[in-house]
Amino acid sequence: MFGQRHGSRQRAVGRWEQLSAAPLTLLSVVFLAAYAWPILVPQLSRPWVVACEATGLTIWLLFWVDLLVRFALAGDRLRFLRTHLFDLIVLVLPFLRPLRALRLVTVVLNLTRRTTEWARGRLALYVSATTVLLVVVSALAVLDAERGAPDASITSFADALWWAAVTITTVGYGDFFPVTAAGRLVALGLMVGGIGLIGFVTGSLATWIVERVADRDRPEPATAADVAALRDEIAALRARLESRSPAGTPDPLAVDGAAVGD
């Protein structure tokens, strides 16, 4: 009885996730646009800034609704909380104004979850898309935190994008760096998240180069055309031997020719 109830709840969660997948993806893109617009266009009029903030807050609350619905439908709610603790943290912390950039983490989680489904079996595509998304989101977040701060070195999106690319690749030129607490928090998240992604990218590139070098020394496999040419040569040789052999002499190539034909 308990197993049937648990299974039905799991199916209910699965149905909800299927129904909410496309809307949440669209909401994530809209949220990212509403967050980025005032940052990329500092001279945006106040009404538009308020509209973007209201849009972002509304979508963020809808992310809360999604989490609460999945929690209500879950069979083992304690296990759900344990396995979705990170999702809960990134939804709770942005209530604090200095940590509002953490709302972008929810967007990244939603978009990468969809990317996993779209790129199933194509791990390189998934990692590449996640890396680009992480760089862009980090650039937006650090520019939002740094712009207007005293002695800030990151004052434009181009600077922020360059800083994010240099940081995630662990190059660290030091020409741009965050000076605020929020900016350094973004940098910490980018460093931690980027280590695994960049490690996978460099490892995949090294593996591809090694395989390409190894393929040069590997003999070419026999093709259908090669087998057909061999069969023709054996048939021609057998015909020549038959024309020279007395009648009734066994054909030495009959067995071999049949084997090749098979």
Position 217 pLDDT exceeds 70? no
At 2, is the pLDDT very low, low, confident or very high (cuts 50, 70, 90)?
A: very low
Domain positions in the chain are 1-98, 119-218, 224-261
Which one is the CATH code of 119-218: 1.10.287.70, 1.10.132.20, 2.30.29.30, 1.20.140.10?
1.10.287.70
Residue 71 tokens, joined: 């929690």
pLDDT tens column, 13-24: 778 877 877 787
Give residue-wise pLDDT tens across range 198-207.
777 777 777 7
Per-residue pLDDT, 45: 92
| Residue percentage of the chain with pLDDT more than 70 | 73
Mean pLDDT of 100-125: 59
* Cβ pair 213, 178 in contact under 8 A: no
| Mean pLDDT of all residues in 190-218 | 74
* Structural tokens at position 22: 């496309």
Q: With bands split at pLDDT 50, 70 and 90, how would you rate the model's confidence at 243? A: confident
Q: Identify the pLDDT of residue 126.
A: 67
- Backbone torsions φ then ψ of 10, nearest 5 degrees: -60, -40
Percent pLDDT > 90 in the chain is 12
- Neighbour-count burial for 108-134, b at 16+ CB within 10 Å, e otherwise: bebbbeebeeebeeeeeebbbbbbebb
- Give dist(CA 144, CA 133) in Å, integer: 17
